[in-house]
C-alpha cells in the first residue's frame, strides 16, 4: 500500500455496512461482552444480598458503561485516529511530535499493562464459562478443562485464525442476543430494578453500605475490554464500532438488569458458588448457555492474543521492544503471529490458571491491569485534545472526569493487591522495565555513533570500484545505514569498505529505513551520489509495515533499471556478454560492548541491560527481511568512553 491509498482508507473509517457491523461485534466486543459472566460475582462475593447492595451495584454498572465505555471511548477517543488506526501506541504517535519526551512513558506504561491484561483475560474468561458446569458437578475440577482450552487456543495461532475469524461475528451475535433475551425474561419478573438507573443509588451504595467504595473494584470489571474499541478501529472502522455498540450495550444492560432482578428475589442470602448469570438461565438451556459462553470467551481470548501481537509489532516499529520474528500465517489484513510472544503469553496464562484456579481469585489482578491502561490513555487523550485546540475548559473537565473515575477504580482495586493484584503489577513492571531499558539503550547507542561526511569519500569509492589490482568483493555491495541524510555515513561503514580489508564493488548502495508515524506508508527516495557507482536509498515505511528490505530493494532496483538510472549487468567479461545480472551482497554490523569503555554507572547499567535483552532479539538480517545467502556479518566493538589518566610507563634498557 502506498501513501496515495491512505485517504481512501481514511474515508471508509466512518462507513457503516452490514459486514462491518458483524466484524465489529465479533472482534471488538469479545472481552467486554463476556463480563456479565463474572462482574456481579466479583462485586458480591460471599456478601449477604441487600436491596441497597443489588440496586447500587446495578446502577454503578450502568453508569460505568455509560461514562467509561460510551462517553470516553465510543464518543471521544474514537475521534483520535492515526490514518484510520487506533490503540495507545497510535495515540502516542499522534501527540509525540507536539509534546515533550515524557509522553513516551504513559504510552509505555499503558502498553505494558495492556499486555498484562492479555495474560489475565483468557484465564478469567474461560474459567468463568467452564465454571457453569459446577451446577451439574459441584465437585468438578475445572482447571484441566480450562488449561486444555487455553493450550489449544495458543497452539492454533501459528496456523492462522482466519477460519476462526469468519465465525466470530455470527457466534457473538448469537451470544449477545442470548444474554439479552435471557436477561429480559428475568427482568420482567421484577421490573422494579430499573429504578436503579437513577445515579443516586450509586451514591447511597458508596455512602451507606459498609465498605461500599471498595466494591468499585468489582464494578470496574464490567468495562474491561473498552480499550479494544479503540485498538481495533483500524480493522472495523469508527462508524461500525459506534453503531454496533448500541446493540451490544443494550444486550449487556438487559443481562445485568436480569441478573439484578433475580438477585432482588434472593435478598438476605449469599450468591453461592456459581454466578448469577447462570442462575437466570432456564435449566433446559443451561448446557447451551455453557457452550455458547465458552465459545464467546474463546473469541474474547483470541481477540486479546491477536491484539497483543499487534501491540508488540507496533512497539518494535517504535523501537520500544527488541525485534522478534514476525510471521503472517494468512493473507487476512493485519493478522500477524509472533512465536516468541505467543509461547510467553501461553506460559503466563497457564501460570495464572494454576496459581488462582478459580475465576473469583483472578478478579483483583484483572482489574488493576486494565485500570492502569485506561489512566494512561486519559493522559495521552488530554494531550491530543489540547493539540486539536478543543476548548480548554472542556478539555480540563473531560480529563478531570475520567481521571477521577479511573483513580477511584484504581484505589478500589489496590485493596486486593495481596489477593492477586500484585501479579498484574509485577507483569506490568517487568514489561515497563524491558521497554524503557531497550528504548534508552537504543538512544544511548545511537548518540555515540560517529558519522563522517560522505562527499569527500565519493571519489575514493569510484577509484576503488575501478581498481583492478584489488580483488572484487561483490558486484553490488549494500550497507544498511542509520544516517537519514546522504551527506554523511557511519564511520564504521567507511572503515569496513576502505580500511579493514578494501572491499571493491562495481556499485555501492546505502539503504536507510525511516519509520513513519503513519501506519501504512510505503515510499522511497533515491539519491545518485556517483553515477553508476554510489547510490543512497531512503525508505519511508509506516510503523505497521514489515520492513522486507530484500524485496523492497529489488523492486527499487528494477524501477531504476527501467528508467536507465543504473546498470546492474555483471561487469565480468564472460558474464557481461550474456547480460547476466551481477551479484548483490549485504554487509550488516553486529555491535558488542567494547571492554575499553569507561562509562558512568547509570549508562553502564543501561547498556549492559540493553545487550542482555538483545540476546532475545532478531539480528538485523532476518529483522529486515534479508536473505541469509548473500549477507556478511561484521562484529564491531561499541566504544563510548575511553578510560582517562592511564599511566602506562615504557621501560628502556
* DSSP class per residue in 550-618: HHHHHHHHHHHHHTTS---B--SHHHHTTTPBPPEEEEEEEEEE-TT----HHHHHHHHHHHHHHTTSP
Say whether both 222 and 368 belong to one domain.
yes
How much of the chain exceeds pLDDT 70, in percent? 91
Is 489 found in the same domain as 426? Answer: no
In the structure, what pLDDT confidence band is assigned to residue 2 with cuts at 50, 70 and 90? very low
Find the Cα–Cα–Cα–Cα dihedral 38, 39, 41, 42, rounded to 10°.
Answer: 110
Question: What's the pLDDT score for residue 9?
Answer: 45
Kindly state whether residue 6 falls inside one of the protein's structural domains. Answer: no
194, 274, 275, 414 from 40: Cα distances, Å: 16, 11, 7, 19
**Alpha-carbon distances, residue 91 vs 55, 79, 385, 482 (angstroms):** 37, 10, 11, 26
pLDDT, average across residues 405-430: 86
Does residue 564 or residue 13 have the better pLDDT?
Answer: 564
Is residue 133 domain-shared with residue 168, that is, in the same domain?
Answer: yes
Segment 351-374 mean pLDDT: 82
Among the listed ranges 3-12, 419-428, 432-441, 537-546, which one has the minimum average pLDDT value? 3-12
Cell numbers linked to 328: 503472517
Which whole number is the average pLDDT over 631-653?
A: 72
Structure confidence at residue 333 (pLDDT): 47
Helix 238-264 with 18-27: angle, nearest 10 deg: 50
472 shares its domain with 398 = no
Question: Nearest 5 degrees, angle CA 61-CA 81-CA 542?
Answer: 135
pLDDT at 109 over 90: yes
Examine the domain organization and report whether 377 and 474 are in the same domain. no
Domain that holds residue 511: 451-638
Say which DSSP state 132 is in.
Answer: G
Q: Which residue's entry shows cell 523492486? A: 555
Residues 427 and 291 in one domain: yes
- The predicted pLDDT at position 292 comes to 92
Neighbours of 210 (CB within 10 A): 7
Judgement on whether residues 40 and 116 belong to the same structural domain of the protein: yes
**Is position 617 within any domain?**
yes
Cell numbers representing residue 509 in the block? 548502495
Pick the last residue of a domain from 442, 474, 505. Answer: 442
Is the predicted pLDDT of residue 90 greater than 70, yes or no? yes
pLDDT at 575 over 70: no
Position 360 pLDDT exceeds 60: yes
Give one word for 648, left, alpha or beta, with left for phi > 0 and alpha for psi -120 to 50: beta
Position 217 pLDDT exceeds 50: yes
Would 650 be classed as within a structural domain?
no
The candidate with the shortest Cα–Cα distance to 232, out of 337, 113, 374, 90, is: 90
Q: Which of 331, 316, 232, 342 is nearest to 545 (CA)?
A: 316
Q: Look at residue 643 and tell me if it is in a domain.
A: no
**Spacing of C-alpha 479 from chain mean position:** 31
Q: Tell me the pLDDT band of 332, cut-offs 50, 70 and 90.
A: very low
Asked if residue 644 is part of any domain, the answer here is: no
328 and 470 both lie in a single domain: no
Q: Say if 560 falls within a structural domain.
A: yes
Residue 10, in any domain of the structure: no
* CB neighbourhood size of 291 (10 A): 12
Of 248, 250, 318, 316, the residue nearest 91 (C-alpha): 318
- Retrieve residue 592's grid coordinates: 558488542
Do 437 and 524 belong to one domain?
no
pLDDT of residue 23: 80
Domain end point (choices 412, 442, 472): 442
SS3 475: strand
Same domain, 391 and 287: yes
Flag whether 653 is in a domain: no
Average pLDDT score over residue span 286-299: 89
Query: Do residues 309 and 241 both lie within one domain?
Result: yes
Region 191-209: mean pLDDT is 93
Query: Same domain, yes or no, for 374 and 489?
Result: no
CATH classification at residue 391: 1.20.1740.10
pLDDT tens-digit readout, 377-401: 999 999 999 998 899 999 999 999 9
Among 35-49, 197-211, 506-520, 609-623, the range scoring the smallest mean pLDDT is 609-623
Q: How many domains does the chain have?
A: 2
Q: What average pLDDT does the structure give for the chain?
A: 84
Domain termination site, one of 392, 424, 442: 442
Amino acid at each position: 500500500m502506498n501513501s496515495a491509498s491512505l485517504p481512501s482508507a481514511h474515508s471508509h473509517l466512518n462507513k457503516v455496512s452490514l459486514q462491518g457491523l458483524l466484524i465489529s461485534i465479533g472482534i471488538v466486543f469479545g472481552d467486554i461482552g463476556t463480563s456479565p459472566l463474572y462482574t456481579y460475582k466479583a462485586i458480591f462475593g460471599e456478601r449477604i444480598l441487600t436491596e441497597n447492595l443489588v440496586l447500587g451495584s446495578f446502577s454503578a454498572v450502568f453508569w460505568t458503561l455509560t461514562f467509561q465505555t460510551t462517553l470516553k471511548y465510543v464518543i471521544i477517543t474514537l475521534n483520535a485516529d492515526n490514518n484510520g488506526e487506533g490503540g495507545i501506541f497510535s495515540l502516542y504517535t499522534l501527540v509525540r511530535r507536539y509534546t515533550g519526551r515524557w509522553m513516551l512513558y504513559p504510552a509505555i506504561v499503558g502498553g505494558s499493562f495492556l499486555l498484562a491484561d492479555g495474560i489475565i483475560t483468557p484465564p478469567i474468561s474461560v474459567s468463568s464459562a467452564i465454571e457453569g458446569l459446577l451446577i451439574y458437578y459441584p465437585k468438578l475440577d475445572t482447571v484441566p478443562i480450562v488449561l486444555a482450552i487455553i493450550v489449544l487456543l495458543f497452539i492454533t495461532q501459528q496456523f492462522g485464525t482466519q477460519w476462526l475469524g469468519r465465525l466470530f461475528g455470527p457466534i457473538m451475535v448469537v451470544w449477545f442476543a442470548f444474554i439479552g433475551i435471557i436477561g429480559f425474561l428475568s427482568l420482567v419478573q421484577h421490573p422494579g430494578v430499573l429504578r436503579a438507573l437513577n445515579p443516586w443509588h450509586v451514591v447511597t451504595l458508596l455512602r451507606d453500605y459498609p465498605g461500599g467504595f471498595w466494591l468499585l473494584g468489582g464494578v470496574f470489571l464490567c468495562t474491561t475490554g473498552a480499550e479494544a474499541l479503540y485498538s481495533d478501529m483500524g480493522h472495523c472502522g469508527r462508524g461500525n464500532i459506534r453503531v454496533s455498540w448500541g446493540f451490544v450495550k443494550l444486550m449487556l444492560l438487559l443481562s445485568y438488569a436480569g441478573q439484578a432482578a433475580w438477585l432482588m428475589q434472593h435478598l438476605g442470602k449469599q450468591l453461592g458458588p456459581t454466578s448469577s448469570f447462570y442462575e437466570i438461565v432456564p435449566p433446559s438451556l443451561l448446557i447451551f448457555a455453557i457452550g455458547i459462553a465458552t465459545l464467546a470467551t474463546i473469541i474474547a481470548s483470541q481477540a486479546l492474543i491477536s491484539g497483543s501481537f499487534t501491540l508488540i509489532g507496533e512497539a518494535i516499529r517504535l523501537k520500544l521492544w527488541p525485534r522478534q520474528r514476525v510471521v503472517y500465517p494468512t493473507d487476512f489484513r493485519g493478522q500477524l503471529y509472533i512465536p516468541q510472544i505467543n509461547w510467553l503469553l501461553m506460559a503466563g496464562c497457564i501460570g495464572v490458571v494454576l496459581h488462582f484456579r478459580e475465576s473469583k481469585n483472578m478478579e483483583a489482578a484483572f482489574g488493576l491491569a486494565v485500570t492502569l491502561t485506561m489512566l494512561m490513555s486519559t493522559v495521552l487523550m488530554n494531550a491530543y485534545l489540547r493539540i486539536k485546540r478543543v476548548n480548554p475548559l472542556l478539555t480540563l473537565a473531560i480529563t478531570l472526569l475520567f481521571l477521577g473515575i479511573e483513580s477511584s477504580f484504581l484505589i478500589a482495586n489496590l485493596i486486593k493487591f495481596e489477593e492477586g493484584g500484585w501479579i498484574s503489577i509485577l507483569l506490568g513492571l517487568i514489561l515497563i522495565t524491558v521497554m524503557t531499558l531497550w528504548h534508552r539503550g537504543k538512544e544511548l547507542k545511537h548518540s555515540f555513533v560517529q558519522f563522517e561526511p560522505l562527499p569527500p569519500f565519493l571519489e575514493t569509492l569510484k577509484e576503488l570500484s575501478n581498481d583492478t589490482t584489488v580483488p572484487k568483493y561483490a558486484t553490488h555491495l549494500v550497507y544498511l545505514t542509520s544516517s537519514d541524510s546522504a551527506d554523511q555515513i557511519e564511520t564504521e561503514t567507511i572503515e569496513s569498505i576502505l580500511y579493514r580489508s578494501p572491499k571493491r564493488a562495481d556499485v555501492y548502495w546505502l539503504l536507510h529505513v525511516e519509520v513513519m508515524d503513519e501506519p501504512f506508508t510505503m515510499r522511497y527516495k533515491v539519491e545518485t551520489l556517483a553515477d553508476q557507482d554510489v547510490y543512497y536509498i531512503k525508505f519511508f515505511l509506516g510503523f505497521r509495515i514489515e520492513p522486507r528490505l530484500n524485496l523492497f530493494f529489488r523492486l527499487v532496483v528494477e524501477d531504476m533499471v527501467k528508467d536507465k538510472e543504473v546498470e546492474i549487468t555483471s561487469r565480468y567479461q564472460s558474464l557481461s556478454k550474456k547480460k547476466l545480472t551481477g551479484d548483490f551482497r549485504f554487509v550488516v554490523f553486529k555491535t558488542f560492548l567494547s571492554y575499553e569503555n569507561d562509562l558512568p554507572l547509570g549508562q553502564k547499567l543501561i547498556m549492559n541491560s540493553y545487550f542482555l535483552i538483545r540476546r532475545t532479539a532478531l539480528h538485523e538480517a532476518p529483522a529486515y527481511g534479508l536473505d541469509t545467502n548473500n549477507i556478511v556479518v561484521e562484529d564491531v566493538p561499541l566504544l563510548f568512553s575511553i578510560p582517562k589518566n592511564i599511566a602506562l610507563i615504557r621501560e628502556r634498557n
